[in-house]
Amino acid sequence: MISTLPPTMDLTTHDPAALQSALQTDDWFAASPPVLQQQLLALARRRHLAPGESLFARGGDADGLCCVVAGALHIGAHDVQGQAAVLAYLEPYQWFGEISMIDGLPRTHDAVADVASQVLVVPRTDLLVWLADHPVHWRDMARLACRKLRVAFVVLEELALLPLEERVLRRLQLLAQGYGSRDVMRRRIRVAQEVLARMLGVSRQSVNKALKQLEARGALRLHYGEIELLT
């Protein structure tokens, strides 16, 4: 189902009730017990990031569970030539960083702000102390990791089986659904063609051609700075 989601809330007031309400748009958070929701918010620290600023780097310390509350972040890595590969484009109110939070090993990828952004960071040490006293909620951490694993399997299957045009459409649909974090897909997506190309590991020219083919068949409509899904 495609629908228009409400715009990102202005959370600069740090209103806990407004924040908790906004976070309910994420399926994982909404399905988590209220006690866990409240504890995550109680422990969270807010980070403000300028465009291009790093939240964490590949190989960095496992310092917490994170959630975008404003702006957007690239999750990716750089090859030996310094070229950036984008694996995910995270917007409000998506949670991430659970792999290192669970296993304590270094960060697997870079997390960099695409625009001015705000991120909640729940310190790993504090969360582990709480989970030690409330072990039943480890299942909720596992649910978050399993959701990401399911998405990864889908992406790998598409890479092996689908032509580029279909991969572009499926990736846009995945972005519109917040990588499975919500049931309702956004109709309009703000993502640069260059970013989309890096996510798919192809050239910008190839993505542009695929987008025009998709537009010609009525699957989407191209706007300045936005892509509108029609199917």
Is it the case that residue 4 has pLDDT exceeding 80? no
Query: How many residues are recorded in the chain?
Result: 231
Domain CATH for 116: 2.60.120.10
Number of Cβ atoms within 10 Å of the Cβ of 2 = 15
**179 preceded by cis ω (within 30°)?**
no
Is it the case that residue 9 has pLDDT exceeding 60? no
Q: Which range of residues forms the domain containing residue 47? A: 2-229
Count CA atoms closer than 13 A to 169's CA, side-chain side.
Answer: 18
Phi, psi of 85 (to 5 degrees): -110, 130
pLDDT in tens, 13-37: 467 788 988 999 999 999 999 999 9
CA angle 78, 91, 48 (to 5 degrees): 80
- Identify residue 218 by its one-letter amino acid code: G
Spatial separation of the C-alpha atoms in residues 123 and 103, rounded to whole Å: 14
Count CA atoms closer than 13 A to 118's CA, side-chain side.
Answer: 14
* Contact yes or no for 38/121 (Cβ under 8 A): no
Residue 128 neighbours by CB under 8 Å, 6+ apart:
none
Which pTM was predicted?
0.76
Average pLDDT value over all residues in the chain = 87
The reported pLDDT for the residue numbered 8 is 41
CA angle 131, 137, 142 (to 5 degrees): 105
29-38 long-range contacts, CB within 8 A, separation 24+: 29/67, 29/93, 29/95, 31/143, 32/137, 32/140, 33/137, 33/140, 35/134, 35/137, 36/134, 36/137, 36/140
The reported pLDDT for the residue numbered 1 is 35
Total count of domains within the chain = 1
pLDDT in tens, 75-129: 988 765 666 778 888 999 999 999 999 999 999 899 999 999 999 999 999 999 9
The reported pLDDT for the residue numbered 83 is 66
